[in-house]
Amino acid sequence: MMSSEEYSGVWTLGEVRNGEISSVSYELLAWGKKLSEKLEERLSSVVLGHNIKRKSQELFEFGADEVYVVDNPKLEHFLPDIHANLCEALVREYKPGILIASATTYGRTIMPILAARLKTGLTADCTELDIDLKEHILLQTRPAIGGNVMATIKTPDIRPQMATVRPKSKRPLKPDKSKNGKLILKEYSSDLYESRYKWLSFEKDESSDLPIQESDVIIAGGKGMKGKKNFDMLYDLSKMLNGAVGASRPTVDMGWVPYSHQIGLSGKTVTPHFYMAFGISGAIQHVAGMSSSKIIVAINKDPDAPIFKVADFGVVGDALEILPALLKKLGKGERNE
């Protein structure tokens, strides 16, 4: 157990994808800046990857005071145990008071491992982070009980205080190209790079140009779509709106759409600016994964469907009648003739 007395500073866990700093890394710095200013402590970011030393300096423009970089060929691909080893070594050496990551696949994989090794707490999928100025501790707010209440969680006695925040839940700060910071390049012994995993290959999800967790617009379908073929219309609409396609669990279980599109407690948690649900009844498990969307539009022929309770706008009608009419109005034409 780590005492809180020695620990200070706010850290964000940056992400590298395809050799580039991911946009979620800049979002995290916007979260971290708010916290570090209230605590009057330094804001730092951690980046693990290969050939990313130069690119990591971009993080200074977005608010970082310090950037810890581990640059090694063995970090070209994501192997969870190596990344966890290095993060643990950094935390034990530099002792940050707060460590936050994005609730992406990367953050959801690394943070629980770290929390277990460091014997500290972790609050996942936060929608708000703040500082209790009286106690100088992190307030971690997230939906609970299927999204029906908001719970605020504290880690008062042990450090670091750890949380993941939902992607797209905060805009990056406006970059300041004049800002500089301290780049700390770290090297570690070979034993920390030993892995139980073997990298085979990466297969891109060809069903979507953009992961649903990173999309500002999501067009989602449920059992009311009545079959796999009808999901083509959802793909058409999502492309017209520069969005991504989401789905309820039953449609994934029936093989209408890949699991990577599933939204809910057993799928992805999303926070887009615009969420449009066609033929989704609104089971509590699904709503828990999308209720934080900024604008929710629901189309369902059942006027008592639970989805309407969380929708900002609702249309009572058959999704398979409304969707083709909407596509035609937008100039795509009908697909289910």
- Per-residue pLDDT, 147: 58
- Per-residue pLDDT, 335: 47
pLDDT digits 0-9 by tens, 107-155: 999 999 999 999 999 999 888 899 999 999 999 988 776 656 788 999 9
pLDDT digits 0-9 by tens, 50-81: 999 999 999 999 999 999 999 999 999 999 99
- Per-residue pLDDT, 208: 61
Q: What is the CB neighbour count within 10 angstroms for residue 303?
A: 9
Give percent above pLDDT 90 in the chain. 69
Confidence of residue 3 (pLDDT cuts 50, 70, 90): low
The whole-angstrom separation of Cα 294 and Cα 216 is 10
Cis peptide before 250 (omega within 30 of 0): no
Flag whether pLDDT at 333 surpasses 60: no
Domains and CATH numbers, the chain: 10-193 (3.40.50.620), 212-329 (3.40.50.1220)
- Per-residue pLDDT, 337: 44
Helix (H, G, I), strand (E, B) or coil at 332: coil
Joined tokens for residue 288: 């828990």
Confidence of residue 2 (pLDDT cuts 50, 70, 90): low
Check residues 229 and 332 and name the one with the higher pLDDT: 229
- Per-residue pLDDT, 63: 93
| Strand ranges in the chain using DSSP code E only, listed in sequence order | 10-13, 16-17, 20-21, 43-49, 66-71, 98-102, 122-126, 128-132, 137-144, 149-153, 161-165, 182-185, 217-221, 244-247, 274-278, 295-300, 313-316
Rg of the chain, C-alpha, whole Å: 21
Tokens 């301290």 belong to residue: 182
The whole-angstrom separation of Cα 212 and Cα 189 is 37
The whole-angstrom separation of Cα 86 and Cα 14 is 13
Return the DSSP state at 227.
Answer: S
Residue 127 and residue 142 in contact, taking contact as beta carbons nearer than 8 Å: yes
Flag whether pLDDT at 25 surpasses 70: yes
What is the edge-to-edge ordering of all strands in the sheet holding 137-144?
128-132, 137-144, 149-153
The whole-angstrom separation of Cα 254 and Cα 249 is 9
The whole-angstrom separation of Cα 45 and Cα 240 is 36
Stated pTM of the model: 0.75
Q: What is the mean pLDDT of residues 9-26?
A: 92
- Per-residue pLDDT, 271: 82
Residue 76 and residue 104 in contact, taking contact as beta carbons nearer than 8 Å: no
Q: What is the CB neighbour count within 10 angstroms for residue 93?
A: 9
The whole-angstrom separation of Cα 293 and Cα 256 is 24
- Per-residue pLDDT, 4: 59
Q: What is the CB neighbour count within 10 angstroms for residue 59?
A: 28
DSSP lists the bridge partners of residue 204 as none
Q: What is the mean pLDDT of residues 100-106?
A: 92
Contacts of 188 (CB under 8 A, 6+ apart): 70, 85, 86, 89
pLDDT digits 0-9 by tens, 169-193: 788 999 998 999 999 999 999 999 9
DSSP lists the bridge partners of residue 33 as none
Q: What's the chain's average pLDDT?
A: 90
Return the DSSP state at 301.
Answer: S
- Per-residue pLDDT, 205: 67
Length of the chain: 337
Residue 213 and residue 292 in contact, taking contact as beta carbons nearer than 8 Å: no
Check residues 336 and 239 and name the one with the higher pLDDT: 239
CA distances (Å), origin 73, targets 20, 79, 91, 104: 15, 12, 22, 23
Q: What is the mean pLDDT of residues 238-245?
A: 92
